[in-house]
Amino acid sequence: MLDLFAEETPWSEPLAPGAMIVRRLAREHSTVLLAAIEQVAAVSPFRHMVTPGGYTMSVAMTNCGPLGWSTDRHGYCYASVDPLSGRSWPAMPACFRQLAQAAAERAGYRGFDPDACLINRYQPGAKLSLHQDKDEARLDAPIVSVSLGLPAVFQFGGLRRSDPLRRVLLEHGDVVVWGGESRLFYHAILPLKEGCHPQVGPWRYNLTFRRAA
């Protein structure tokens, strides 16, 4: 499909100490990224995981790369095997890795080498409650988060759950990088609004790259 905005030059916006949004960075690669998501999901399908508290998540998830993040009644963990397929998580596509590294570098994090990529799929109404990304062994590496499809409101706070939250709209192709001082900052996604993205359909995808081990 012809995307009139495909040539828009990415630009950066500071978010917090150590955190930055690189607007539209993924847009010119979106066709390739979406095809790669489909390939991952053909091997390790999207599923609604259950939290240790017994809550079924509204966001559907899968993973690629050496390690994948899962939750079940017993807790959260990173593992090399997909508990659903019983096989290794699919390899991280080269286009994913390249984008994650380029985004990290733009935000000042050289040599980012992710070993885990969580893929979230939101349908209208789906949300992600306020949380910290703290299951990774390596907190010196940043988180790189890529948004595709429908827009979503991202909340970004501080080290305490009660810290004030900034609200930013994340649109198709936007990439958020947080590390350093803000690596453990609380964040959330508000319930996705109804809509249909011209390229993606009634969905939002989010890729989050981490160094887990």
Task: Give binding residues for 2-oxoglutarate as ranges.
Answer: 120-122, 204-210
* Of positions 206, 209, 211, 212, contacts ligand SIN by CB under 6 A: 206
Site mask for ligand SIN (CB under 6 A), range 95-124, x = bound: -------------------------x----
DSSP string, 34-51: HHHHHHHHHHS--B--B-
174 binds Fe ion (CB under 5 A): no
* Of positions 30, 63, 101, 145, contacts ligand SIN by CB under 6 A: 145
* Of positions 107, 119, 128, 144, contacts ligand SIN by CB under 6 A: 128
Give CA angle at 37 (36, 38), nearest 5°. Answer: 90
Q: Which long-range contacts (CB under 8 A, 24 or more apart) does 47-50 make?
A: 47/84
CA pair distance 194, 157, nearest whole angstrom: 25
**Whole-number Cα distances in Å, 205 to 17, 140, 211:** 26, 26, 20
Binding residues for substrate: 69, 76-78, 135, 161
136 binds Fe ion (CB under 5 A): no
187 binds ligand SIN (CB under 6 A): yes
| In the complex, minimum distance from the CB of residue 91 to ligand SIN, in angstroms, rounded to a whole number | 21
* Of positions 33, 104, 117, 133, contacts Fe ion by CB under 5 A: 133
Q: How far is CA 190 from the centre of its chain?
A: 14
Bridge partner list, 207: 119, 146
- Which residues contact Fe ion (rule: CB under 5 A)? 133
- Which residues contact ligand SIN (rule: CB under 6 A)? 120, 128, 145, 147, 154, 187, 189, 206, 208
